[in-house]
Amino acid sequence: MKYIVSLFRKNYVLILFSPIILNAVLNFLNPNSFNNFLKTKNLVLFTSFTLGSFFYFYLSRIIKTFLQLDSFSLSLSMFLVSFFVFESLFLFITKNLSFDASIAIVSTMWISVILFKRKNYLEIFKLTSIYIIWRFFNHFFLNTLKDLSNYVELNSDVPAQWIGIVEMIYNKNYFYAFENNLIEGQGLLPSYIQALMLKIGFGLENFTFIPITINLLLFFSILLIVDLPLNSNNKVVLIITFVFLILNNNWLKYLMINSLMIEGIVSFLFGVFLYNLKDNLYSKKFSSLLFFLFFGSLTLTKNFVSLLSIGTVVICLLFLKKNKYVLLGPGVYAFYLIYQKIYLPNIQNVAYTSEIDFKDLFFDFIFLRDLNLSNISNIFKHFTTDIPSTYLIFLFLIFNIFNFLVKNKFEFTQTFIFVFVVVNFLLVNLLYVSYWRNVEYESSYRYIMNCFHLIFISTGLSVSNFVNRK
């Protein structure tokens, strides 16, 4: 009996996540799956993905050392976001520069400060070598990598708006997309990073959608799991679970890592920055300055996450006495509003809000009028058709509620994550019972999944730490 209990404790995480893993394994046990993988195209895709992963890993490791961070995913996120922040702050200059020129300036700044501060030429040589090999490989197999003959678009928003936005950034510059935004008031950070990743991986003269550049978000997510303070066995279980969870669901795969939908980038960045918030609130290192400056850029993503990011920035200002760098949190959004007032004074600040009468909407909730409360159950039923994701959220709720109500454990990060996931869910439901009461509710799945990475890492931490408590 004692042996069984001990075995259970050692494999507790694996046991709890095994339904997700087994479900994926059973679906993958298809005689054709292995044969399909061995096709030339898939091997080329896998090789490019592997080389790209190595490049971003070495890049994040160098930045991690340079900025004295404890996180690979945060290092990588700060690198990617830095290009957008540069454009956002110096738009009066970059509006006259091409996208290529802006990328070259920020890249040169990174290379210069790293070489000057660290002088670790061996690491730089490794990174450069991997990058050259990756770019050569992508160039040699370009036709294979950009072949979309078997690719299926699962959402009409991509050809209608997201491709056009990324194309404007890539072919012209950020200012052109800012001025000609296909969605009035839509933040451009996610689309900018999509354009940036294509430029880094392929350097094409004109925009072409190549899925492998977005596929690398899967590796980015793995880095986030690697950063968690867990033992190696639990990290492996969580990585396998995450990968299987994504690859076993065509819609979730499309949403997170295989399209120009922006949910994947938004969820990853929000997860990384919110998870690392506590450490930077109490830090006075230079990296904390960059953290809050870059974190503020999340206000220019998707509406719900933008609102939650603004709320977080406001909360951070309460810690001003502990860390003066929190003052930089509103910086990017403040510059965005200033430039919008200068260049586009007649457009709305927030996407999809031009027709909303907020006063009338407020009284609708107060007096419970003009509300379609049945949409709450519709959203619930629609979401629960995805059984693995539903199971994940079930674990997320059970273990967090147990911590709060039974253990009275209110750890800062876990509590913050839980609150924001719940608030995001409530905002989605409030929207669909009021202003969008007559709109299709299937898209609610996407808005809930804006917090997918937060839900996953919170669940992983809660489950992993539960068995270790005495």
pTM here is: 0.93
Q: State the distance between the two ends of the chain, measured CA to CA, in whole angstroms.
A: 19
Of the listed ranges 264-268, 288-292, 317-321, the least confidently predicted one is: 317-321
Please tell me the predicted confidence (pLDDT) of residue 320. 82
Please tell me the predicted confidence (pLDDT) of residue 7. 53
Of the listed ranges 121-125, 157-161, 357-361, the least confidently predicted one is: 357-361
pLDDT above 90 covers a percentage of the chain that reads 57
Cα–Cα distance for residue pair 291/287, rounded to 1 Å? 6
**Looking at the predicted structure, is the pLDDT value of residue 465 above 60?**
yes
Token code pair at residue 225? 């799991």
Cα–Cα distance for residue pair 32/218, rounded to 1 Å? 23
pLDDT tens digits, 72-84: 999 999 999 999 9
Please, which residues have CB within 8 angstroms of residue 94's CB and are 6 or more apart in sequence? 86, 87, 102, 173, 174, 175
- Alpha carbon of 396 to those of 179, 453, 460: distances in Å? 41, 12, 8
pLDDT tens digits, 206-246: 999 999 999 999 999 999 999 999 989 899 999 999 999 99
pLDDT tens digits, 16-47: 888 888 887 777 766 665 556 557 788 999 99
* pLDDT band, residue 296 (cuts 50/70/90): very high
**Looking at the predicted structure, is the pLDDT value of residue 335 above 90?**
yes
**Looking at the predicted structure, is the pLDDT value of residue 334 above 90?**
yes
Token code pair at residue 109? 């700044």
Please tell me the predicted confidence (pLDDT) of residue 470. 44
* pLDDT band, residue 8 (cuts 50/70/90): low
Please tell me the predicted confidence (pLDDT) of residue 362. 63
Please tell me the predicted confidence (pLDDT) of residue 90. 96
Where is mean pLDDT largest: 123-132, 425-434, 459-468? 123-132
What are all long-range contacts of 142-147, with beta carbons under 8 Å and residues at least 24 apart? 142/202, 144/40, 144/41, 144/44, 144/45, 145/44, 145/45, 145/48, 145/210, 145/212, 146/208, 146/209, 146/210, 147/41
**Looking at the predicted structure, is the pLDDT value of residue 297 above 60?**
yes
Please tell me the predicted confidence (pLDDT) of residue 350. 67
Nearest-5° angle of CA 413, CA 189, CA 127?
80
Is-contact 332 296, C-beta < 8 A? yes
Q: Mean of the pLDDT values across residues 161-179?
A: 96
Is-contact 201 212, C-beta < 8 A? yes
Token code pair at residue 219? 């590796």
Q: Mean of the pLDDT values across residues 58-66?
A: 93
Please tell me the predicted confidence (pLDDT) of residue 322. 84
Written as one string, the DSSP assignment of 340-390 is HHHH-TTS-SSTT-TT--HHHHHHHHHTT-S--THHHHHHHHHHTTSHHHH
Cα–Cα distance for residue pair 363/368, rounded to 1 Å? 8
Of the listed ranges 161-170, 354-363, 403-412, 424-433, the least confidently predicted one is: 354-363
* pLDDT band, residue 327 (cuts 50/70/90): very high
Q: Say which DSSP state 159 is in.
A: I
Q: Mean of the pLDDT values across residues 356-384?
A: 71
Token code pair at residue 212? 């492998």
What are all long-range contacts of 138-147, with beta carbons under 8 Å and residues at least 24 apart? 138/48, 138/201, 138/202, 139/202, 141/44, 141/48, 142/202, 144/40, 144/41, 144/44, 144/45, 145/44, 145/45, 145/48, 145/210, 145/212, 146/208, 146/209, 146/210, 147/41
Please, which residues have CB within 8 angstroms of residue 427's CB and are 6 or more apart in sequence? 304, 307
Q: Mean of the pLDDT values across residues 162-184?
A: 94
* pLDDT band, residue 456 (cuts 50/70/90): very high
Please tell me the predicted confidence (pLDDT) of residue 294. 96
Is-contact 449 263, C-beta < 8 A? yes
What is the helix (H) or strand (E) element at residue 86, kind and residue range? helix 72-89
Tokens 């799945």 sit on residue: 445
Supply the mean pLDDT for the chain.
87
Please tell me the predicted confidence (pLDDT) of residue 295. 95
Token code pair at residue 431? 């929207």
**Looking at the predicted structure, is the pLDDT value of residue 358 above 80?**
no
Q: Mean of the pLDDT values across residues 144-155?
A: 92
